[in-house]
A and B are shown apart, each in its own frame.
Chain A
């Protein structure tokens, strides 16, 4: 990629001023994909032709002082976000050949801002997983160490950005699926407040937790992506009409009015030593920038994982009922003699879904079933209220809450795949932000001795992405972790 501008803001400015053409930039990224993706498997679909056609059109139509925020920026899209005319599979066999007849709202907004969809990225099937091993199209590999997981479920989106196969990407975050792979791959990942970004056109996993967010190399790029995709949408009634601040102008570098809280008690166990060390060093850096740090309590934090898995699987079992062999491409055909509607459903779903998706559908169906609803689902929704009120209380005293994004760096592929519960525990620091609807960001904050990236997570007040981005940006500018690139 020598000589070409990199990153969302640089590319956009170069294309807008005519310093570089959208076509040469797009071609550069496509070449990069062709060179390295064979060993990474980050893409389910690469849009060679349509991306270049679009780049050509952008160069042709460009006007002086073009104000579009993502002009000519090649962006990779997680394969659970609908793209009209481009195969969208959710990395599931059951949608292997599904071509959406419409664009997700975020895609429309990216296109209107001049972005170029360069391809669809691999992920855990229907975004269910923390390792990207649950994809029907094979795992994505971590570019820092090919034998390790990139994290999940937006593993392909994180790898695409980390290895310069896309200037930025979109992922979806239901329990950490943007932030955790961002941390494990050494990039920035932002989960916006629930309701800040439209979910219309996102393959629904757990509707009360899902949120689409950007993965980028820098916080500035994340701010620009959010500026484009945020805002109310008449096709998603859970979007908020709260005003959207100028996220880019908010990146002032001034942090000395910010107070952050550290829930020290929940870091006492199960956190990798090097992760904890990097986290403490990050706190020192922030302190030197004038940030005031204090310890806080999140008394119900230990219940976050069970609460999350009860609610998320319940909602998933309901959302995935639509894949029944009637409307979405795949169907198992039966001999007319034995054919029945219910047998067709059962066989189609048995063949179309992978093991983790089946497991979650089973668990969710169980906790919603007659007799167990109150004991599990209702109870979990009550505990969710308690978890959220812990955060409300903490935010009376602090502006942001910090903890590691993931308790460990990237783990070896296959290591956790045999034990679903062990895999679920990896989400211990990320699920709370989804349960409480809060915005959260992961930024690179160090490396292990064998060069695996570590992520710092900042959680903010609802709809205060502005302060969150300002904090993350101030930290980023005081460090150089984000400038490191993987050896591929």
Chain B
């Protein structure tokens, strides 16, 4: 069982400046931690490949940090008048049968998606 909680590794982030928060090289631990967050099992060769490739991409992406963005509002909706509302009225939706039709392990009688046991 893994015991490390996601997020522990950057517990002291606030002590750093933004620049130092961007490592120029990803470590094996970084990649393992991200894979865990992303729920992806990596092979040894994938891990090696991602250390190299993600480092390349991040180093390239760091040029956005050259820019002074003081006071620039981050884009949330790219165009105005987004987020149209509609009346909150019930409409027909997927039937339980349809929703379960593609499940790998449906309990069609009780209407559940079945998953491996979580509670010991």
Interface residues of A (CB under 8 A from B): 98-99, 101-102, 193-195, 208, 232, 234, 237-242, 300, 302-303, 306-307, 309-310, 317, 321, 324-331, 334, 339-347, 349-350, 353, 355, 358-359, 361-363, 365-366, 369-372, 374-376, 378-386, 388, 420-421, 424, 435-437, 462
Contacts and interface: CB of A to CB of B under 8 A. Distances in A.
A194 B104 contact: no
Interface residues of B, number: 62
A437 to B, nearest CB: 4
Contacts of B49: 355
Interface string B44-78: 00100110011011101111110101001111111
Majority SS at the chain B contact face: loop
A303 B49 CA distance: 25
A340 B116 contact: yes
A341 B21 contact: no
Nearest to A84: B98
A437 B104 contact: no
Contact of B13 (A98, A325, A371, A420): A371
Interface in B84-118: 84-86, 94, 98-99, 101-105, 113, 115-118
6 contacts: A362-B35, A363-B54, A370-B10, A375-B18, A382-B69, A386-B72
A421 B60 contact: yes
Nearest to B10: A371
A329 B117 contact: no
Given A239-B84, A366-B34, A370-B7, A462 B79 contact: yes
Contact of B40 (A195, A358, A383): A358
Interface string B20-45: 01100010001100110111111100
Interface of B: 6-7, 10, 13, 18, 21-22, 26, 30-31, 34-35, 37-43, 46, 49-50, 53-54, 56-58, 60-65, 67, 69, 72-79, 81-86, 94, 98-99, 101-105, 113, 115-118
Given A307-B64, A349-B40, 19 more contacts: A101-B99, A194-B78, A208-B77, A237-B82, A239-B84, A240-B79, A324-B39, A340-B116, A344-B115, A347-B41, A358-B40, A363-B54, A366-B34, A366-B58, A369-B37, A375-B22, A376-B22, A383-B72, A385-B73
B69 A194 contact: no
Contacts of B46: 355, 358
A230 to B, nearest CB: 15
Which 9 A/B pairs are nearest by Cβ-Cβ distance?
A371-B10, A381-B74, A437-B78, A331-B104, A371-B13, A101-B98, A382-B69, A350-B41, A346-B41
B19 to A, nearest CB: 8
Given A232-B84, A359-B54, A462-B79, A372 B102 contact: no
B6 to A, nearest CB: 8
